[in-house]
């Protein structure tokens, strides 16, 4: 058995046709017959896709055209026409008359019968080319608005009249093929235009505006190009497997609000398609156990996955009130359009990330330019303040105003930065962190390395922390003493080797300033600790987990800060094992004479 199409070969064939027959056998199953009755029966049963004739058979078109037409050519799927040098029709089979819509074609001009069609190539003078070269010619015609024919023109010399030239024209209706190709091209162009934004438009539009534009374009092309009126698109949330509605038109509100997950069972056709990555054609909703009602009266649906890099990122669903409303062609077209939609969504995400990245760089530049100068102002102010506490109230008041205003400037810059930087600017690995844990948390970072201080500002301020920096232990002590102006520090992060002291020395200076637990975290590089600062600090009450090894990951830094925040909220046990009252929770010894004498 073979699936090849069959070609009827009416012999005997001339020697020159041997090569043509060999070529035909490579792509078709050839059936050679010499009896007209047998040929007619094969053609009548619709078993042949074409016919190869010897010249003796073609002569019969002229001498016994009617009989030959009845026997063979009327049953062929293509039109067959015999024309002369003037393009006048001498004979045509029944199929050509069907294509033309009239049996009255004899003696008329071939092109006039087809209402002067447009020749669209590749041969723009197929009849002249075949007569001039003696070889077959081919071209396509556009008839009326939406009809397309393929012509195959073969020159014929009659043995009875060698000087008289005739042409055999095979006319095939290729409208379906051309329209399918046009639709594919239109779908591709629609996909290009889904996110067709000029450079200035990209940065002028917000993320929400771009999403709305994309949704509007998707709906337009779905309705205008594919002729689908009931549409639902859902995007797959990879972390949870939930299918989140992006676009819904014509769907019932209950269906749009329905919770769906990418599971092969229990969540309808959409869940099945998202889970398997396979398209699904529901021909009759009343008979399909997977179908969940999209709108009242729906009788058929078509659902395809949104695929990007071989992965499912969502689903595209269309529905109809008619059973079996969607064909395999509809399935192919929707799959192609869905791929374009997936690429458009990916492009939108990249544009958003690019915009977010640009804003993020701007904010980081502000931090680098302003954060450390403000730290210097704070350190200089508290250093001067130390000498005037309790002695010169007016100067003390002015210095405290300087501290307050410097911190207000920092807060204002942070708020402007948050407005400039969309949520997408925070790296995905960090978006899982709960920012509310660190909002308004005040952190003092002590390190002689300016890059560490810059990094602390850029990292922790993304999560809502208020960060201040000091380069020495002495500056840190002054800042802690002066912290009564706003609020005490919630966490102090210090390197174990500062320019003027060790981390353990700093701990000893800070402990008298806190009645409760000291929220200190010590940092060290991977190296030898000559002063055994960490060991001594742990012996003096440093939390066992309050240690960071540089370079550390952001997640580790956040986890340690959270541990210390929680630890300091817990009331410590006294020597008898009893816990103090709430009034004994840690508070720094605020400034003034008491702080100065400490």
Domain ranges of the chain: 1-77, 94-173, 181-353, 426-597
Decide if 220 contacts 239 (C-beta within 8 A).
no
Equal CATH topology for 94-173 and 181-353: yes
Alpha-carbon distances of 94 from 39, 152, 538, rounded to whole Å: 17, 17, 102
Cα within 13 Å of Cα(185), Cβ side: 6
**Which residues of the chain fall short of a pLDDT of 50?**
1, 64-65, 199, 202, 351, 354, 420-434, 575-598
Alpha-carbon distances of 379 from 153, 415, 524, rounded to whole Å: 94, 23, 23
Asked if the peptide bond before residue 54 counts as cis, ω within 30 degrees of 0, the response is: no
Provide the CA 247 distance to its chain's centre, in angstroms: 15
Q: Is 135 exposed, middle or buried (0-12, 13-18, 19+ CB in 10 A)?
A: exposed
Decide if 84 contacts 166 (C-beta within 8 A).
yes
Q: What is the pLDDT of residue 575?
A: 43
**Comparing C-alpha atoms, which of 540, 487, 488 is closest to residue 509?**
540
Provide the CA 319 distance to its chain's centre, in angstroms: 24
Distance CA 206, CA 306 (A): 24
Phi-psi label, residue 177: left if phi above 0, alpha if psi -120 to 50, beta otherwise:
alpha
| Alpha-carbon dihedral sign for residues 533, 534, 535, 537 | positive
Q: What is the pLDDT of residue 387?
A: 72
Q: What is the pLDDT of residue 187?
A: 63
Report the residue count for the chain: 598
Output the six-digit token pair for 182: 């046009």
Output the six-digit token pair for 567: 């630890």
Q: Is 273 exposed, middle or buried (0-12, 13-18, 19+ CB in 10 A)?
A: buried
Distance CA 269, CA 279 (A): 9
How many other C-beta atoms can be found within 10 angstroms of the C-beta atom of residue 594? 11
What DSSP assignment string belongs to 502-532? BHHHHHHHHGGGBSS---EEEEEESS--TT-
Task: Kindly report, residue by residue over 307-322, the tens digit of the pLDDT.
Answer: 988 889 899 999 999 9
Confidence (pTM): 0.42
Q: Is 567 helix (H, G, I), strand (E, B) or coil?
A: helix
Q: What is the pLDDT of residue 509?
A: 92
What DSSP assignment string belongs to 418-458? HHHS-GGGS-HHHHTS-GGGTTT-EEEEE-S-HHHHHHHHH
Fold entry, domain 181-353 = Beta-Lactamase (3.30.450)
CATH class of the domain at 94-173:
alpha beta
- Which helix (H) or strand (E) element contains residue 265? none
Instruction: Residues 426-597: name the CATH superfamily.
Output: Response regulator (3.40.50.2300)
Decide if 256 contacts 244 (C-beta within 8 A).
no
Pairing of strands 491-495, 442-446: parallel
Distance CA 506, CA 84 (A): 109
Distance CA 14, CA 152 (A): 20
Phi, psi of 585, rounded to the nearest 5 degrees: -60, 155
């Amino acid at each position: 058995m073979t699936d090849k199409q069959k070609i009827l070969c009416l012999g005997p064939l001339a020697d020159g046709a041997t090569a043509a027959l060999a070529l035909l056998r490579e792509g078709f199953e050839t059936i050679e017959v010499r009896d007209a009755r047998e040929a007619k029966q094969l053609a009548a049963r619709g078993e042949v896709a074409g016919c190869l004739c010897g010249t003796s058979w073609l002569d019969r078109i002229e001498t016994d055209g009617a009989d030959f037409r009845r026997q063979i050519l009327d049953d062929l799927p293509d039109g067959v026409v015999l024309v002369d040098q003037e393009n006048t029709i001498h004979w045509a089979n029944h199929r050509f008359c069907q294509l033309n819509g009239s049996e009255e074609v004899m003696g008329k001009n071939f092109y006039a019968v087809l209402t002067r069609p447009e020749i669209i190539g590749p041969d723009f003078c197929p009849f002249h080319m075949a007569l001039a070269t003696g070889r077959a010619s081919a071209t396509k015609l556009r008839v009326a608005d939406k009809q397309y024919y393929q012509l195959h023109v073969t020159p014929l010399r009659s043995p009875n009249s060698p000087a008289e030239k005739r042409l055999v024209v095979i006319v095939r209706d290729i409208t379906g093929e051309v329209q399918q190709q046009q639709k594919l091209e239109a779908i591709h162009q629609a996909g290009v235009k889904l996110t067709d934004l000029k450079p200035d438009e990209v940065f002028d539009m917000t993320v929400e505006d771009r999403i709305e534009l994309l949704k509007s374009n998707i709906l337009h092309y779905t309705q205008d190009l594919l002729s689908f009126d009931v549409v639902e698109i859902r995007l797959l949330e990879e972390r949870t497997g939930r299918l989140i509605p992006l676009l819904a038109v014509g769907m019932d509100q209950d269906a749009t609000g329905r919770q769906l997950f990418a599971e092969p069972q229990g969540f309808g056709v959409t869940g099945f398609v998202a889970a398997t990555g396979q398209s699904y054609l529901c021909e009759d909703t009343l008979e399909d156990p997977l179908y969940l009602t999209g709108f009242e009266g729906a009788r058929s649906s078509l659902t395809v996955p949104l695929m990007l890099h071989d992965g499912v990122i969502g689903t595209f669903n269309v529905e109809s009130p008619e059973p079996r409303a969607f064909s395999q062609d509809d399935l192919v077209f929707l799959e192609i359009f869905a791929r374009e939609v997936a690429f458009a969504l990916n492009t939108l995400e990249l544009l958003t990330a690019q915009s977010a990245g640009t804003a993020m760089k701007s904010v980081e530049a502000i931090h680098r330019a302003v954060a450390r100068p403000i730290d210097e102002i704070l350190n200089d102010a508290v250093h001067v303040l130390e000498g005037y506490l309790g002695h010169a109230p007016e100067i003390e008041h002015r210095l405290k105003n300087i501290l307050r205003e410097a911190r207000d400037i920092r807060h204002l810059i942070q708020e402007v930065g948050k407005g400039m930087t969309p949520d997408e600017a925070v790296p995905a690995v960090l978006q899982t962190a709960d920012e509310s844990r660190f909002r308004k948390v005040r952190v003092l970072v002590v390190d002689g390395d300016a890059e560490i201080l810059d990094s602390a500002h850029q990292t922790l301020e993304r999560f809502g922390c208020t960060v201040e920096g000091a380069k020495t232990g002495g500056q840190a002590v002054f800042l802690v003493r002066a912290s009564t102006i706003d609020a005490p520090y919630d966490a102090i992060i210090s390197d174990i080797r500062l320019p003027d002291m060790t981390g353990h020395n700093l701990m000893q200076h800070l402990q008298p300033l806190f009645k409760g637990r000291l929220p200190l975290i010590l940092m060290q590089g991977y190296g030898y600790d000559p002063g055994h600062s960490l060991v001594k600090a742990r012996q003096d009450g440093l939390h066992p987990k309050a240690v960071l090894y540089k370079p550390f990951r952001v997640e580790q830094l956040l986890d340690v800060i959270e541990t210390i925040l929680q630890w300091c909220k817990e009331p410590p046990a006294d020597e008898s094992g009893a816990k103090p009252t709430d009034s004994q929770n840690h508070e720094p010894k605020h400034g003034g004479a008491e702080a100065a004498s400490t």
